[in-house]
A and B are shown apart, each in its own frame.
Chain A
Amino acid sequence: MPLAAMKMEVARLEKLAREMRARIIENSHKTQTPHLGSCLSCVDILVAAYFHALRLDTADPAHPDRDRFILSKGHGAAALFPVLATRGFYPESLLDTYGEDGGLFAEHPPTPKHLAGIEAATGSLGHGMPMGLGMALAGRIQKRSYNVIALVSDGECNEGSIWESAMLAASQRVERLCVVVDFNKWQATGRSREVLALDPLVDKWRAFGWSAIEADGHDMAGLVKLLTHVPDGSGKPMVVVAHTIKGKGVSFMEDDNNWHYRIPKAEEVAAAKKELGVAA
Chain B
Amino acid sequence: MRNAFADEVTRLGKEDPRVVLLSGDIGNKLFDKFKENAEGRFFNCGVAEANMMSVASGMALSGLRPVVYTITPFTTTRCFEQIRVDACYHQAPVTIVGTGSGLSYAELGPTHHSLEDLAILRTLPGMTVFAPCDEVELRLGLRAALKQDGPLYMRIGKKGEPVIHKTPPSAFALGKAITLRPGREACLIAAGTVMPEVLAAADILEKSGISTRVESFHTDAARLAEVFRSTRLVGVVEEHGLLGGLGGAIAEWRAAEEGNLARMLAFGTADEFMHEVGTQEYARRKFGLTADNIAGRMLGALRRAA
Binding site for B on A (CB under 8 A): 64, 111-113, 119-121, 123-124, 126-127, 130-142, 160-161, 164-165, 167-168, 171-172
Contact B51 A137 (CB under 8 A): no
Pairs across A and B, CB under 8 Å, 6 listed: A113-B91, A127-B54, A130-B50, A134-B55, A137-B55, A167-B46
Contact B20 A141 (CB under 8 A): yes
Binding site for A on B (CB under 8 A): 20, 40-41, 43, 45-46, 48, 50-51, 54-64, 66, 81-82, 85-86, 89-91
Find B59's partner among A121, A126, A135, A168 (CB 8 Å cutoff).
Answer: A135
Query: In this complex, which of A127, A132, A134, A164 has the most chain B Cβ atoms within 10 angstroms of its Cβ?
Result: A134
Find B51's partner among A123, A136, A165 (CB 8 Å cutoff).
Answer: A165
Q: A126–B41 Cα gap in the complex (Å)? A: 24
A112-B90, A167-B46, A172-B43 in contact; A138/B54 too (CB < 8 A)?
A: no
Q: Which residues of A contact B54 (CB under 8 A)?
A: 127, 130-131, 133-134, 161, 165
Residue of A nearest to B54 (CB): A130
A240 to chain B, nearest CB (A): 20
Q: Which residues of A contact B56 (CB under 8 A)?
A: 134
Contact B59 A164 (CB under 8 A): no
Residue of B nearest to A133 (CB): B55
Q: Which residues of B contact A135 (CB under 8 A)?
A: 58-59, 61-62
Q: Which residues of B contact A134 (CB under 8 A)?
A: 54-62, 66
Residue of B nearest to A111 (CB): B90
B239 to chain A, nearest CB (A): 30
Contact B51 A138 (CB under 8 A): no
Contact B62 A138 (CB under 8 A): yes
Contact A164 B50 (CB under 8 A): yes
Q: Which residues of A contact B61 (CB under 8 A)?
A: 112, 119-120, 131, 134-135
Residue of A nearest to B49 (CB): A164
Find A168's partner among B51, B57, B91 (CB 8 Å cutoff).
Answer: B51
Residue of B nearest to A113 (CB): B91
Contact B63 A64 (CB under 8 A): yes
Extra 20 A-B pairs, beta carbons < 8 Å, given A121-B90, A130-B58, A138-B58: A111-B91, A113-B90, A119-B61, A120-B90, A130-B51, A134-B54, A134-B56, A134-B58, A134-B59, A137-B43, A137-B59, A138-B20, A141-B41, A164-B51, A165-B54, A168-B43, A168-B46, A168-B51, A171-B46, A172-B43
Contact A120 B51 (CB under 8 A): no
A127-B85, A141-B64 in contact; A120/B48 too (CB < 8 A)?
A: no
Query: In this complex, which of A124, A127, A172 has the most chain B Cβ atoms within 10 angstroms of its Cβ?
Result: A127
Contact A168 B63 (CB under 8 A): no
Q: Which residues of B contact A167 (CB under 8 A)?
A: 46, 48
Q: Which residues of B contact A137 (CB under 8 A)?
A: 43, 55, 58-59
Find B62's partner among A139, A168, A172 (CB 8 Å cutoff).
Answer: A139
Q: A137–B40 Cα gap in the complex (Å)? A: 10
A130 to chain B, nearest CB (A): 3
Q: A113–B88 Cα gap in the complex (Å)? A: 13
Q: Which residues of A contact B48 (CB under 8 A)?
A: 161, 164-165, 167-168
A120-B58, A130-B55, A164-B48 in contact; A138/B90 too (CB < 8 A)?
A: no
Closest 5 CB pairs of A and B: A134-B58, A130-B54, A138-B62, A164-B48, A164-B51
Contact A142 B43 (CB under 8 A): no
Find A132's partner among B43, B58, B82, B90 (CB 8 Å cutoff).
Answer: B58
Q: Which residues of A contact B41 (CB under 8 A)?
A: 141
B13 to chain A, nearest CB (A): 12
Q: Which residues of B contact A123 (CB under 8 A)?
A: 85
Q: A139–B62 Cα gap in the complex (Å)? A: 8
B66 to chain A, nearest CB (A): 8
Q: A130–B43 Cα gap in the complex (Å)? A: 14
Q: Which residues of B contact A138 (CB under 8 A)?
A: 20, 58-59, 62-64
Q: A124–B86 Cα gap in the complex (Å)? A: 10
Q: A119–B59 Cα gap in the complex (Å)? A: 12
Contact B50 A161 (CB under 8 A): yes
A212 to chain B, nearest CB (A): 19
Find A142's partner among B50, B57, B58, B63 (CB 8 Å cutoff).
Answer: B63
Q: A171–B56 Cα gap in the complex (Å)? A: 16
Q: A132–B54 Cα gap in the complex (Å)? A: 8
Residue of A nearest to B55 (CB): A134
Contact A131 B50 (CB under 8 A): no
Q: Which residues of B contact A164 (CB under 8 A)?
A: 46, 48, 50-51
Q: Which residues of B contact A136 (CB under 8 A)?
A: 58
B95 to chain A, nearest CB (A): 14
B156 to chain A, nearest CB (A): 23
Query: In this complex, which of A133, A168, A172 has the most chain B Cβ atoms within 10 angstroms of its Cβ?
Result: A168
Q: Which residues of B contact A160 (CB under 8 A)?
A: 50
